[in-house]
Structure 1
Amino acid sequence: MIRATGRPCRVAVVSDYSFDTLGGAETAMFEQARALAAELDVTVLAPRSSRMPELARTHQVRVVGVPSQGRLSVLGMPVLRNTRELRTRLRRLLVRRDVEVVHLHSEFGLAAAATAAAHDLGIPVVQTVHTFFWQTTWPVQQLLRWGAPGFHSLLTGLRPTRVRLDERPGNSAMRNMTLTQARTVERVVSPSAHQAAALRAAGLERVDVVPNTLSVAAAATEPLRGVDGPLRVVWVGRMVPEKRPLPLVRAALAAVERLGPGRLHLTLAGDGEQLAEARALVGDHPEVELVGRTSHARVLDLIAGAHLCALTSVGWDNQPMTVVEAVSNLRGVLYCDPRLTEGLRSAGILADGADEAALTRLLVELADDPARVVAASEGALTDRREFAPDVFRRRIGDVYTAAAASLR
């Protein structure tokens, strides 16, 4: 089914995650599907969601909503099992659409069923791993150690792997879910070099680094020439412990106390279990604004209207869409995890520590002298090329070609 050029041009993009979640993995898949559709024939298979018509209406993408058997309330993830009925339906769709490569963005039941259906038809499968750094702060490590393998096997029909991938047994069990599925495909894609190294260390041999992309036009078209008024910082993400929004809120409030009014303004956009606690911390302080859950379009507007984007996670993120969105909009990124590199070589401002004191110190320094903020914005002119849609299409096209060749 591969064209004479050896370059697949009909792709099925598959994910167990719903576009309604508005997480980084879902946004990355959405943007990649749109970028691919500029040159390839793209079919997206994912749980039914309210955003599917948007993808189909505004871009040349065929969308197929797959009914789920329920939803995990804690993770907000639809539950789909790899059943004979689902595999049969997927085989028929792949044949009808003349699909030449299947591109997964998840590791659960729908991904496993799509892999099996593709291999039955001799179609190569590529899997993008959005996080190999599963972790939880909940005191349920032993429960996850015993429950995660069985749960994943129930959804996928795959025999669990039990490689030690983290000192904490529950975290290791969750990361093994990704490893189990990734072992069944022709090529694995990591959006970052540091995650690719972790995947190779776990035993995966065919791992390619392809950073994420942003297919929509940037709202900000010029880098900053200066900072007028308060230094405006925006944070975007799920309000959960692994993203560390609360340390940033406390650091910003401490910085405001040192700087005085009108010098610093922090906006946080996102929903999650720590939003209520963040609201309690902020109280009636006008310098910190909590937007809550909002649309992707507004997120981009918030970033373009800020001077700097903040990313406070440590050891959790692979290649955050926040970085893609900020750098594409010619805004620098204040970040805490030194392992992150893509898009941050010139546009990044690395904190000298991840604790609240270090964040407070840096916010005060940047508000007092925003020269580094302006330099990071100018540096984004170079770094944003890493996330350009045409660069993404070329890189992922090479992966598709390699996958097809390895299967042959």
Structure 2
Amino acid sequence: MHIVFFADQHLDSLGGAQVSMRLQRRFLERAGHTVTVVAPRMHGARPDAANPADLDLPSMPITTDREYSMSWPGRGTDRVLDRALASRPPVDLVHVQADFWGAFIGHRYAHRHGIPVVHTMHNRVDVGIQAVTPLHRPVLAALNIWRRTVLRGSGDGSDGWAFLRGLAAGASAVTAPSTHFARRLERHGVFDAVDVVWNGIDDDLRAATLAAAPEERTPGRPRFVWLGRMSPEKRLLPFLEAFVASGIDAELEIIGGGGQRSAAERIVAGMPNVRFAGRLSYPETLARLVAADALVQTSIGFETQGMTPFEAATLGTPSIISDPDIAAELGGGLWAVGDSLAETLRRAASDIAAGVAPVPLSSVAEDFRQSSRTAAMLAIYERVLADSGAQNT
């Protein structure tokens, strides 16, 4: 089977969706399938050599650090894409894992060629845009106008849910990376029955990470790690303010990059127990997670799954969770943040020091393996292709 992924951002760029898609591609290829990933060409530094499975579209940078870029959906991009894919094996299925230009380009391609679409919703568009601009309502209205212009017949409406409904209109199946997001999509009429398929962790890399980890906790004060993109919706700055206010004697490592790094460094300036590790490779990141006593996850309402607590849990590391939906999805092995993040940090540090930290559920480790996630997604692909074949006979 030849599956074409469509993404908003290149898979070598920073982000949870990109990590997930790289894993999906690897395990689909391991299962004998061909995967092509269509995404905007990167303009910043690339950490890895180009992958022949990548199909990079003409693009323009959209962030000052040149990490992220966009490709304009339209006839010019359509022609470039059609020429490039014509030299590859015939496409059996399109899997859109994008919310903006990548989604538009992918649905246009599928519609032109009569190919069925599976659409994975990675992003709560309304919350994400509200987090980065006070003008979220006119921005969403403009996005919906753009959607209706680029995707004819994709429905009316001007809010975030209307936008997602318009994208789902061209899909044969819609998946979401968490139960809470899937049910929310259904309640807002995005799709009648949304399949839940968690994002996963590389089985082999997980095993190697655990094998390399010490059997006993390394002595020392509590070790916290925060991981992610340094942007407003991730709430790094409020976390650092709470960390300072908590007064705990603990180490903190911050992994990732983004536009708020300078502001973050100012908050904890002069604190030798806080370290900014920058951007790390995926294996390095997992090694830091397994070595930590707790992961801190601070976004609220934005994450459709929140991969980092699941990655931590499958490595045996509990999390401090601000979002009640993510806490419920994990089911246990965590500190849920109540009214005060600072107080929760103090409670977690005390539990770690006393040796009574919560233990993540063993079921999470099993259900989060990428091999099981790929098997679940392949079942959806086969169902969609069977339905498509039945409709064409």
TM-score of the aligned structures, taking structure 1 as reference length: 0.82
CA contact (8 A) 2:205 2:283 kept: no
CA contact (8 A) 2:176 2:195 kept: yes
In structure 2, how many angstroms separate the alpha carbons of the residues matched to 1:360 and 1:348? 12
In structure 2, how many angstroms separate the alpha carbons of the residues matched to 1:349 and 1:223? 24
Task: Note the aligned Cα RMSD (angstroms).
Answer: 2.8
Deviation at 1:175, TM superposition (A): 4.6
In structure 2, how many angstroms separate the alpha carbons of the residues matched to 1:347 and 1:287? 25
CA contact (8 A) 2:178 2:329 kept: no
1:340 paired with 2:321, answer: no
Deviation by residue 1:273-294 (Cα, 9 ceiling, x = unmatched): 3322221111111222222334
Of 246, 249, 260, the residue aligned with 1:274 is 260
* Corresponding residue of 2:237: 246
CA contact (8 A) 2:118 2:175 kept: yes
Deviation at 1:25, TM superposition (A): 1.6
1:217 paired with 2:205, answer: yes
* Corresponding residue of 1:186: 172
When structure 1 is superposed on structure 2, of 212-221 and 37-46 the one drifting more is: 212-221
Of 40, 46, 59, the residue aligned with 2:39 is 46
In the superposition, relative to structure 1, how do residues 322 and 148 fare at CA in structure 2: closer, same or farther (>3 Å)?
Answer: same
What are the within-5 Å matches in structure 2 for residues 101-120 of structure 1?
Answer: 101-120=93-112
* Corresponding residue of 1:15: 7
Of 385, 388, 391, the residue aligned with 1:404 is 385
Deviation by residue 1:279-310 (Cα, 9 ceiling, x = unmatched): 11111112222223343343223212212211
Is there any run of 5+ residues in structure 1 with no aligned partner, and where? Answer: 1-8, 164-171
What are the within-5 Å matches in structure 2 for residues 355-374 of structure 1?
Answer: 355-373=340-358
CA contact (8 A) 1:304 1:326 kept: yes
When structure 1 is superposed on structure 2, of 15-24 and 131-140 the one drifting more is: 131-140
Of 281, 291, 298, the residue aligned with 1:295 is 281
* Corresponding residue of 1:140: 135
In structure 1, how many angstroms separate the alpha carbons of the residues matched to 2:86 and 2:351? 53
Identity %: 26
1:385 paired with 2:366, answer: yes
In the superposition, relative to structure 1, how do residues 33 and 231 fare at CA in structure 2: closer, same or farther (>3 Å)?
Answer: same
Question: Tell me, what secondary structure is at the counterpart of 1:339?
Answer: helix
CA contact (8 A) 1:186 1:403 kept: yes
Letter in 1 for 2:351: L
Question: Tell me, what secondary structure is at the counterpart of 1:349?
Answer: strand
TM-score of the aligned structures, taking structure 2 as reference length: 0.85
In the superposition, relative to structure 1, how do residues 177 and 142 fare at CA in structure 2: closer, same or farther (>3 Å)?
Answer: closer
When structure 1 is superposed on structure 2, of 206-215 and 72-81 the one drifting more is: 72-81
When structure 1 is superposed on structure 2, of 89-98 and 126-135 the one drifting more is: 89-98
In the superposition, relative to structure 1, how do residues 112 and 148 fare at CA in structure 2: closer, same or farther (>3 Å)?
Answer: closer
In the superposition, relative to structure 1, how do residues 46 and 141 fare at CA in structure 2: closer, same or farther (>3 Å)?
Answer: closer
1:349 paired with 2:330, answer: no
* Corresponding residue of 2:144: 149
Question: Tell me, what secondary structure is at the counterpart of 1:115?
Answer: helix
In structure 2, how many angstroms separate the alpha carbons of the residues matched to 1:395 and 1:180? 25
When structure 1 is superposed on structure 2, of 384-393 and 342-351 the one drifting more is: 342-351
When structure 1 is superposed on structure 2, of 396-405 and 328-337 the one drifting more is: 328-337
1:321 paired with 2:307, answer: yes
Is there any run of 5+ residues in structure 2 with no aligned partner, and where? Answer: none
Letter in 2 for 1:285: M
Of 244, 251, 274, the residue aligned with 1:265 is 251
In structure 2, how many angstroms separate the alpha carbons of the residues matched to 1:392 and 1:66? 28
Deviation at 1:391, TM superposition (A): 0.6
CA contact (8 A) 1:126 1:186 kept: yes
In structure 1, how many angstroms separate the alpha carbons of the residues matched to 2:136 and 2:381? 37
Of 63, 68, 71, the residue aligned with 1:73 is 63
CA contact (8 A) 2:295 2:320 kept: yes
Letter in 2 for 1:134: G
In the superposition, relative to structure 1, how do residues 173 and 314 fare at CA in structure 2: closer, same or farther (>3 Å)?
Answer: same
